[in-house]
């Protein structure tokens, strides 16, 4: 599946309808993968040999073939197996790739061409599908989840069995992960990573930072496999042992190695699930299918495709650890809800109007010795390094009488950080503007008028596809010698504006001991934002990540 360099959050091919306990978004019909290409089913094997097509059938052929929905990696071995049950004049079985979302929608909608058998890559999708009466048959293959390591990263000593934190540290920022709603190994691995960070505030913040980075990159598993032999693009990433085995078969000169997490290994398991009431799914057809997929031939085909079969412990990837850590349980429904919500929050794009205090008091010393304006400038630079390049950001400054009686002035309009004007990126222009801030300092602190004006500007240019916010960096209380709105007046107006269907959060960052934190908190609470004090530039990272965590799920 193709991605843009900074994709909008995707709801995912594994996301299922009717599962409000773990999804906040609606299932869109546009995302449903069609189970058939038309009124007649055909299956073309990976080697190009065409299989029989339903059309002119022999008299003893079933009226409808047994349709099997499965994953992309299982489609070819299953197709090879069912070809044993088909003949030149009879199509008894048809195999196609379908996501859990597609299967659920086809069955819930009584599609006449819905599958009668489903072979997903984990039983958890049966649990989450909302389909009633599923009958679980044999598990025909398994594959442990692993971390694939390209050759260019092997010098990082990432091999064998390592704790999750070690894997992440030694890959040096070159670790990717597919959307967990799209990829079961990614989902299982995200659970392991989250558990390794623990439930503390610091641990949650580290996890959020990692997810922000991964969710704004082109980290589709298919892309990372394609990039694996490119030293400039290669990343380590979670996948299955079977995927690595298949890749290495085709790329003998640039094979992937694997590392497994010490905390435990999640297993992909491919169960046969019978869907009652589907066309072609009578007892005789189902029994014929289960005999095919549990035969000695089936075991051979699965092994040759890189899968393990029940009871086997021999790795299918050369050099992989022979002895694996204990298997970890599948994510519970609660786990799934938390993981997908955390990813979805982090994946949302931001539209951020930064408003910087340049009043005279910003030349005073901050608690740790630097001037307050330098602390704000450096904190802004740290923020620019932390935020995804797809972030939209503009810059204002404020102090009394910036433009006539107006307390604020636009320095740079809202643009993506990676957009360019005259050969310079928005990010570089913001960095250059921040460097000039010490020379801009003058006047008093016209805080309340500026907050209201910035809020109105953010709503006037509201982008419903992004998280819209105003970030105010200031060292003090409102000291507007030109008059202006009161705190109560500001709070009342912000609450009124909140009701117009364009939510904008205000994040206030204090950089000096004279900061009126009580007033800042009231402003933040009125808009669903936050108010915090930054004592050093790196605190901006935590403030940004805390804002991400506090987004609505």
Express each pLDDT in 341-380 by its tens digit. 999 999 999 999 999 999 999 999 887 778 999 999 999 9
Pairing between β-strand 424-425 and β-strand 467-474 as defined by DSSP bridges: unpaired
Strand partners, 510: 474, 533
The confidence band for 501, taking pLDDT boundaries of 50, 70 and 90, is very high
The helix/strand count (H/E) of the chain reads as 17, 16
Question: Token pair for residue 86?
Answer: 């088909």
CB atoms within 10 A of CB 213: 17
Residues of 520-541 as b/e, b for ≥16 C-beta within 10 angstroms? bebbbebbebbbbbbeebebbb
* Helix (H) / strand (E) containing 519: helix 517-527
User: For 219-223, 233-237, 253-257, 482-486, which range has the lowest pLDDT when averaged over its residues?
Assistant: 482-486
State the Cα torsion 471-476-481-482 to the nearest 10°. Answer: 10
Check if the beta carbon of residue 392 is closer than 8 Å to that of residue 352.
Answer: yes
Check if the beta carbon of residue 431 is closer than 8 Å to that of residue 377.
Answer: no
**Residue 385 CB partners (closer than 8 Å, separation 6+):** none
Check if the beta carbon of residue 507 is closer than 8 Å to that of residue 543.
Answer: yes
CB atoms within 10 A of CB 172: 11
> CA separation (Å) from 81 to 140, 259, 291, 331?
12, 31, 10, 31
Question: Token pair for residue 326?
Answer: 């204990």
Question: Token pair for residue 66?
Answer: 């047994």
pLDDT in the model for residue 8: 40
Apex 163 CA angle, 160 and 166, nearest 5: 90
Q: What are phi and psi of 104, to 5 degrees?
A: -60, -45
pTM metric for this prediction: 0.83
Express each pLDDT in 188-218 by its tens digit. 999 999 999 998 888 999 999 999 999 998 8
The confidence band for 553, taking pLDDT boundaries of 50, 70 and 90, is low
Q: What are phi and psi of 97, to 5 degrees?
A: -80, 135
pLDDT in the model for residue 91: 81
User: For 13-17, 88-92, 148-152, 291-295, which range has the lowest pLDDT when averaged over its residues?
Assistant: 13-17
Check if the beta carbon of residue 117 is closer than 8 Å to that of residue 67.
Answer: yes
Question: Token pair for residue 397?
Answer: 């400054």
Express each pLDDT in 469-496 by its tens digit. 999 999 878 887 777 899 999 999 999 9
DSSP 132-187: SS-EEEEEEEEEEEEEEE-GGGGGG---EEE-HHHHHHHTTT-B----TTT-HHHH
Check if the beta carbon of residue 513 is closer than 8 Å to that of residue 505.
Answer: no
pLDDT in the model for residue 312: 83
Strand partners, 531: 508
The confidence band for 7, taking pLDDT boundaries of 50, 70 and 90, is very low
Q: 375 by DSSP, 3-state: which? A: helix
d(CA 315, CA 371): 59
Residue scoring higher pLDDT (55 or 326):
326
d(CA 354, CA 427): 13
Strand partners, 308: 142
The residue ranges of DSSP E strands in 167-319, in sequence order, are 237-240, 257-261, 267-274
d(CA 136, CA 349): 40
CB atoms within 10 A of CB 485: 19
CB atoms within 10 A of CB 223: 19
Domains of the chain by range and CATH?
144-261 (3.40.190.10), 348-549 (3.40.50.410)
Q: What are phi and psi of 32, to 5 degrees?
A: -70, 120
Express each pLDDT in 75-104 by its tens digit. 999 999 998 878 766 888 999 999 999 999
Apex 425 CA angle, 472 and 172, nearest 5: 85
């Amino acid at each position: 599946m193709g991605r843009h360099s900074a994709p909008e959050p995707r709801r995912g091919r594994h996301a299922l309808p009717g599962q409000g306990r773990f999804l906040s978004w609606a299932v869109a019909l546009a995302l449903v993968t069609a189970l058939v290409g038309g009124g007649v089913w055909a299956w073309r094997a990976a080697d190009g040999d065409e299989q029989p097509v339903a059309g002119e059938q022999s008299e003893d052929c079933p009226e409808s073939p047994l349709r099997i929905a499965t994953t992309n990696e299982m489609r070819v071995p299953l197709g090879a197996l069912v070809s044993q049950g088909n003949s030149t004049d009879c199509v008894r079985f048809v195999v196609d790739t379908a996501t859990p979302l597609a299967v659920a929608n086809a069955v819930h909608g009584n599609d006449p061409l819905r599958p009668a058998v489903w072979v997903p890559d984990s039983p958890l999708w049966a649990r989450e599908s909302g389909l009633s009466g599923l009958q679980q048959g044999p598990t025909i293959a398994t594959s442990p989840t692993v971390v694939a390591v390209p050759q260019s990263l092997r010098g990082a000593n990432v091999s064998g069995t390592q704790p999750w934190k070690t894997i992440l540290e030694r890959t040096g920022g070159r670790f990717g992960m597919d959307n967990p709603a799209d990829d079961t190994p990614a989902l299982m691995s995200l659970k392991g990573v989250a558990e390794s960070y623990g439930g503390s505030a610091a641990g949650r913040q580290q996890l959020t930072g990692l997810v922000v980075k991964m969710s704004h990159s082109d980290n589709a598993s298919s892309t990372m496999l394609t990039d694996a032999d490119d030293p400039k693009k290669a990343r380590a990433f979670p996948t299955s042992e079977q995927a690595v085995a298949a890749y290495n078969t085709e790329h003998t000169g640039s094979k992937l190695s694997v590392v497994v997490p010490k905390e435990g290994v999640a297993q992909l398991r491919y169960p046969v699930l019978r869907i009652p009431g589907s066309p072609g799914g009578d007892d005789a057809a189902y029994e014929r299918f289960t005999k095919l997929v549990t035969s000695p031939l089936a075991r051979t085909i699965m092994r040759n495709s890189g899968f393990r079969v029940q009871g086997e412990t021999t790795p299918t990837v050369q050099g992989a650890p022979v002895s694996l850590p204990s298997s970890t349980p599948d994510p519970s429904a609660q786990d799934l809800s938390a993981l997908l919500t955390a990813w979805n929050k982090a994946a949302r794009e931001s539209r951020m109007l930064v408003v910087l205090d340049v009043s005279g008091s910003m030349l005073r010393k901050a608690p740790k010795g630097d001037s307050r304006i330098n602390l704000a400038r450096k904190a802004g630079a740290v923020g620019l390094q932390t935020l995804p390049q797809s972030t939209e950001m503009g810059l204002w400054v404020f102090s009394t009488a910036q433009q006539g009686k107006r307390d604020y002035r636009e320095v740079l309009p809202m643009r993506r950080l990676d957009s360019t004007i005259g050969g310079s990126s928005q990010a570089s222009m913001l960095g250059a503007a921040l460097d000039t801030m010490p020379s801009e300092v003058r006047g008093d602190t016209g805080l309340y008028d500026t907050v209201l004006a910035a809020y109105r500007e953010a709503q006037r240019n509201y982008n419903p596809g992004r998280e819209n916010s105003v970030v105010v960096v200031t060292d003090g209380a409102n000291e507007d010698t030109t008059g202006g709105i009161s705190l109560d007046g500001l709070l009342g107006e912000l609450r009124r504006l909140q009701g117009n269907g364009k939510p904008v959060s205000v994040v206030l960052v204090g950089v000096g001991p004279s900061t009126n934190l009580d007033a800042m908190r009231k402003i933040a609470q009125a808009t669903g934002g936050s108010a915090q004090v930054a004592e050093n530039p790196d605190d901006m990272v935590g403030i940004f990540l805390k804002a991400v965590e506090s987004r609505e799920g």
